[in-house]
């Protein structure tokens, strides 16, 4: 039986093209603008999208599955046009590539790559010893698919891995799991703090002045989760003291305003929300496997828990 899939995304044709080859029995409408979807949406049983106008979504009266193209779905979680009775799934493949991002900057920092680049430009031979990741303490906020992949890589580098999780049960590759309430106990113990948290009412500004003030001298803070989980004003104040460093991929407002003081710090690296890359082949592979499960009536992977908010 053929099912009707609406792919709504600026790159819908790329996604739809891959899916048409993989799942030839699907009837697919690829749309980047509402006008392209308006006739099809009423028939659509599955929508694959991340940002879709309400005016379009509300017409999807036959919707049986909303498959998000993103990992964080705070903007969709309470959308009244995605009924609670139908599955809502998220992409869960970002862990490996986001771990690559984190370790790219961790390794560059520990092995002094910036210093050697500068030395080379000046023809300077200065064998000042770099450090090692082995033995360093990594603290991860959020132990979902992304946090767990970062933990796994941390263990491979011989690091001690600590983590914060809403329900602090044991997690593979994590030496000690703290509850969200115990976050202040963990922060002073670590060399690197990696924030992978989704945005929910509980995580909004979870890292504020006090938590940031607990970081020991030289700690590097990474934010690859959501900008609003860190109080940006408090972060700017902390960074002014030049005690910690930060690698920031997400911000309270994106794109980051040219007026933001964050651009001006020497102890900050800024990247434009690229730690998880939308790779259509990988995303379609995950969707395709889920579609087969859906067709067979089996439980789907990546179900969003709408109570928890992620
Ligand atoms: C996401 C993203 O998919 O941040 O959540 O890109």
175 and 197 part of one domain: yes
101 and 226 part of one domain: yes
| Sign of torsion over alpha carbons 254, 145, 196, 82 | positive
Instruction: Name the burial class of residue 253, with classes exposed (0-12), middle (13-18) and buried (19+) by CB atoms within 10 angstroms of its CB.
Output: exposed
Q: Which two tokens stand for residue 187?
A: 């922060």
Provide, rounded to the nearest whole percent, the portion of the chain with pLDDT above 90.
99
Residue 306 has pLDDT above 90, yes or no: yes
The answer to pTM > 0.85 is yes
29 and 76 part of one domain: yes
Lowest mean pLDDT segment, chosen from 49-53, 192-196, 277-281: 277-281
Q: Tell whether 158 is covered by a domain.
A: yes
pLDDT of 1 reads 73
Q: Which two tokens stand for residue 16?
A: 């739809």
Domain enclosing residue 219, as ranges: 95-270
Mean pLDDT over residues 82-91, rounded? 97
Cβ–ligand 1 distance for 92 under 6 Å, the answer no
Q: Tell whether 205 is covered by a domain.
A: yes
256 and 109 part of one domain: yes
Residue 216 has pLDDT above 80, yes or no: yes
Cα separations (Å) of 20 from 5, 7, 11, 16, 29? Answer: 10, 11, 14, 6, 10
Determine the Cα–Cα distance for residues 103 and 182; give it in Å rounded to an integer. Answer: 26
Ligand 1 pocket test, pick from 10, 50, 95, 101 with the greatest ligand atom count within 8 Å of Cβ, gives 50
Residue nearest (by alpha carbon) to ligand 1 atom 3? 70
Q: How far, in Å, from the CA of 183 to the mean position of ligand 1?
A: 24
Mean pLDDT over residues 174-191, rounded? 98
Instruction: Name the burial class of residue 104, with classes exposed (0-12), middle (13-18) and buried (19+) by CB atoms within 10 angstroms of its CB.
Output: middle
pLDDT of 212 reads 98
* Strand duo 46-49 + 268-270: pairing: unpaired
Cβ–ligand 1 distance for 71 under 6 Å, the answer yes
Cβ–ligand 1 distance for 72 under 6 Å, the answer yes
What does the mean pLDDT of the chain come to?
97
pLDDT of 271 reads 98
Ligand 1 pocket test, pick from 9, 48, 71, 95 with the greatest ligand atom count within 8 Å of Cβ, gives 71
Residue numbers annotated as active site:
226, 254, 273
Instruction: Name the burial class of residue 193, with classes exposed (0-12), middle (13-18) and buried (19+) by CB atoms within 10 angstroms of its CB.
Output: buried
Mean pLDDT over residues 49-76, rounded? 97
pLDDT of 43 reads 98
CATH number at residue 56: 3.40.50.720
Buried b (16+ CB within 10 A) or exposed e, 150-172: bbbbbbebebbbbbbbbebeebe
Cβ–ligand 1 distance for 276 under 6 Å, the answer yes
Mean pLDDT over residues 229-257, rounded? 98
Mean pLDDT over residues 194-206, rounded? 98
pLDDT tens figures, 15-41: 999 999 999 999 999 999 999 999 999
170 and 235 part of one domain: yes
Total count of domains within the chain: 2
The DSSP line for 112-170 is THHHHHHHHHTT----PPP--STT-EEEEE--SHHHHHHHHHHHHTT-EEEEE-SS---
């Amino acid at each position: 039986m053929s099912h009707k899939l609406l792919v709504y995304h600026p790159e819908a044709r790329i996604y739809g093209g891959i899916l048409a080859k993989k799942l030839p029995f699907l009837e697919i409408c690829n749309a980047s603008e509402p006008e392209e979807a308006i006739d099809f949406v009423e028939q659509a049983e599955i929508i694959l999208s991340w940002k879709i106008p309400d005016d379009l979504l509300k017409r999807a009266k036959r919707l049986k599955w909303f498959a998000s193209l993103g990992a964080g779905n705070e903007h969709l979680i309470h959308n009244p046009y995605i009924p609670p009775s139908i599955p809502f799934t998220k992409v869960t493949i970002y862990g490996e590539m986001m771990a690559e991002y984190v370790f790219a900057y961790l390794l560059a920092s520990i092995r002094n790559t910036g210093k050697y680049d500068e030395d080379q430009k000046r023809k300077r031979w200065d064998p000042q010893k770099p450090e090692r990741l082995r033995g360093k303490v990594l603290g991860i906020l959020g132990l979902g698919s992304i946090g767990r992949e970062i933990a796994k890589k941390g263990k491979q580098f011989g690091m001690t891995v600590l983590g914060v999780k809403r329900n602090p049960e044991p997690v593979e590759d994590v030496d000690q799991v703290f509850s969200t309430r115990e976050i202040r106990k963990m922060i002073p113990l670590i060399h690197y703090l990696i924030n992978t948290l989704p945005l929910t009412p509980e995580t909004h500004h979870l890292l504020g002045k006090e938590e940031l003030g607990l970081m020991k001298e030289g700690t590097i803070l990474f934010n690859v989760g959501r900008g609003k989980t860190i109080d940006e004003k408090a972060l700017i104040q902390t960074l002014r003291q030049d005690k910690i460093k930060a690698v920031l991929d997400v911000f309270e407002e994106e794109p980051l305003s040219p007026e933001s003081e964050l651009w001006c710090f020497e102890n900050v690296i800024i990247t434009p929300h690229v730690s998880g890359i939308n790779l259509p082949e990988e995303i379609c592979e995950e969707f395709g496997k889920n579609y087969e499960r859906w067709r067979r009536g089996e439980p789907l992977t990546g179900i969003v828990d709408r109570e928890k908010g992620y």
